[in-house]
């Protein structure tokens, strides 16, 4: 009876009766992805509020409203990048410590890219320099996810 209570009360998201991630690395990847999801939701929440409250004022408030829209769009893109990388890692080889480290370094560069998109949207070269490491790290993560695939043998 105790086992029945455990399964019904604490059923996890992976399989019935499993209440944890397969590895601690996968948990770390999902934490980064979920954190970026929260940032995207905050950006979506702030964009219309900024447009509403800053529209009646004079000066550069329209630019601030545009900055919040840029934040929401860039956060969406950053979330999708992390989500795809997390899913590919989970479907592929799994999360090794190196993959987790690359994922979190990518997360840091994505935060930098968000800040550049939000506060310096006209500096295209700075946006490029902030995003270039993300692109390289994500290609490496994809390659590591399928390092045991038959095509690599």
The angle at the Cα of 87, spanning 141 to 111, to the nearest 5 degrees, equals 65
Could you say which architecture CATH assigns to the domain 20-147? Up-down Bundle (1.20)
Q: Name residues whose C-beta falls within 8 Å of residue 98's C-beta, 6 or more positions apart in sequence.
A: 144
1-5, 43-47, 89-93, 131-135 — most confident range? 131-135
Contacts of 150 (CB under 8 A, 6+ apart): none
How distant, in Å, are the alpha carbons of 20, 21, 62, 82, 85 from that of 91?
Answer: 17, 13, 44, 14, 10
The torsion defined by the Cα of 147, 83, 125 and 41, in degrees rounded to 10, comes to -170
SS3 content of the chain, % helix, strand, coil (to 5): 75, 0, 25
- In the chain, domain spans: 20-147
Residue 50: per-residue pLDDT: 75
* 10-69 tens-digit pLDDT: 443 455 555 566 667 888 999 999 999 999 999 999 888 877 776 666 555 556 678 888
57-112: per-residue pLDDT in tens? 655 555 667 888 889 999 999 999 999 999 998 888 888 888 999 999 999 999 99
* Residue 98 CB neighbour total at 10 angstroms: 12
With cut-offs at 50, 70 and 90, classify the pLDDT of residue 149.
low
């Amino acid at each position: 009876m105790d086992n029945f209570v455990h399964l019904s009360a604490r059923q996890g998201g992976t399989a019935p009766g499993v209440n944890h991630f397969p590895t601690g690395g996968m948990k770390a990847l999902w934490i980064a992805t979920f954190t970026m999801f929260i940032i995207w939701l905050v950006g979506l929440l702030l964009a219309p509020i900024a447009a509403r409250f800053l529209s009646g004022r004079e000066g550069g408030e329209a630019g601030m409203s545009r900055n919040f829209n840029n934040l929401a769009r860039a956060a969406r893109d950053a979330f999708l990048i992390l989500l795809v990388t997390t899913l590919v890692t989970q479907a592929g080889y799994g999360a090794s410590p190196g993959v987790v480290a690359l994922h979190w370094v990518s997360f840091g560069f994505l935060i930098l890219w968000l800040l550049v998109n939000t506060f310096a949207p006209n500096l295209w070269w700075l946006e490029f320099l902030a995003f270039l490491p993300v692109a390289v790290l994500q290609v490496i993560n994809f390659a590591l996810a399928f390092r045991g695939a038959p095509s690599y043998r």
